[in-house]
Amino acid sequence: MRSTVYLHPWDVVGDPAAPERVARLGAGSVALAAAYHSVRACTPHHPRRRVVDARHAALYVPVRAGVWAGSRLVPESGAAWAGGEDAFGRAREALGGHGLAVDAWVVLTHSTILGERHPELTVRNAFGDRYPYALCPSDPDVRGYCGLVVAEVLAQGAPDGLVVEACGPLGIGHQGHHEKTAGADWTGTDEALLSICLCRACRRSLTAEGVEPDRLGAVVRAAVGAGHGSVAEALGPLAEPVLRVRRAATGSLREEVIRLVRRAGVARLVFHASADPWATAPGAVVLDAGRRIDTYVAGCWGTAETGAATLAAMRETMREAMREAVPATVPEAGRAAAPGGGREAAGPGPRLGAYVTILPPHPPDAAAFARDWGRLLSAGADELHLYHAGFASTSRLTAAAGALAALRAG
């Protein structure tokens, strides 16, 4: 069992005790934020503060003017609250000094500050509403920006691995401010429909797929709130070409990230992902067969039962990707005979991680954590990803460390 704990640079910079505190958790590696969205975060252990107000999405390695000179989108620095222009590098060095592997954690298409500056590059729903936090990966300028973020983090941060969130479109369900949308009682299908993008770049791509964007918009507007059981039901024959457009943009961004990581010689590549082809937000990446990606992480923040179901869906989706990756020369009988439905013929696939939280509403209970996380491991998880060591109280850190120790002991 591999375990990774999540952290921000400001949890470490300026706190000499932080690396040892994190190491005592017993996790093998740290996912340290190198590019992250705006957040108001507690810092219950820091010697000089209790709250960090990260006012906008930021890069935590230096923003080098010469590198970004030709980019339409240029990130802001988080130096004002993180402890310097190279807060990631300082935190990585401190954590590495205590024997911890440090992966760079990057969030790519989530930036309200850039979306407000460039609304034409953001997701636009069928009603014409813009989501300013959501940069649309259908636009090549957005993909170029994301690729350059990754390249700069790899070049300057020298991480042991890369953990990627939001390698695809964000939708209505991942927003900010004081959210007041729950009373609409939108179903999951409604939210997926409200997350279909009709920005300029998506309209071009839809047209190329034979979809008339205005017609699609009318269909979506009529479908929201109409009680459809699925997006496919709501869109009918439009569903497949719309999904192809989304997958093409997200897949192109994923391929660029893979290329950059492998060119840099970084040993480990992790994507937050979902089995739902209509998923947006952190796990919107297109699943890939084979070992070009080391681990996919599935969100398991609810009960152990719902987490196990999420993992089962992810595992089945990964198996399907393996079956599709089997070369045509492999006889059908050989595919059926393989326990993984063709997995062996396609080569070993990615590992599966369970993204769990040690924060509320879960109580700080080591036995409960161990029981729930053990069920996720039994359900097919190869790794545990723990959120979040910087936000958690002492009792929560102690409970997490106890649970990990119990799981290692068998």
Question: What is the pLDDT, as a whole number, of residue 342?
Answer: 33
Q: Which of 75, 61, 63 is nearest to 9 (CA)?
A: 61
Structure confidence by residue, pLDDT tens digits, 128-181: 999 999 999 999 999 999 999 999 999 999 999 999 999 999 999 876 667 778
End-to-end CA distance of the chain: 11
Question: What is the pLDDT, as a whole number, of residue 18?
Answer: 98
Average pLDDT of the segment spanning 76-88: 97
Please state the domain count of the chain.
Answer: 1
Structure confidence by residue, pLDDT tens digits, 335-374: 333 333 333 334 468 999 999 999 999 999 999 999 999 9
Average pLDDT of the segment spanning 375-384: 97
pTM of the model: 0.93
Half-sphere CA count of 180, side-chain side, radius 13 A: 2
Question: What is the pLDDT, as a whole number, of residue 334?
Answer: 42
- At 132, which CATH number? 3.20.20.80
**Structural tokens at position 160:** 């042991």
Residue 259, class by beta-carbon neighbours within 10 Å (0-12 exposed, 13-18 middle, 19+ buried)? middle
Question: What is the pLDDT, as a whole number, of residue 48?
Answer: 96
- Split at pLDDT 50, 70, 90, the class of 325 is low
Element (H or E) spanning 333, and its range?
helix 332-337
In degrees and rounded to multiples of 5, residue 51 shows phi and psi of: -140, 140
Q: Which domain, by its residues, includes 168? A: 2-409
**Structural tokens at position 255:** 């391929």
| Percent of the chain scoring above 70 in pLDDT | 93
Question: What is the pLDDT, as a whole number, of residue 177?
Answer: 67
Contact in structure between 42 and 8 (CB atoms under 8 Å): no
Average pLDDT of the segment spanning 29-57: 97
Number of helices and strands (H, E) in the chain? 16, 13
- Beta bridge partners of residue 368, listed in sequence order: none
State yes or no: pLDDT of 328 exceeds 90.
no
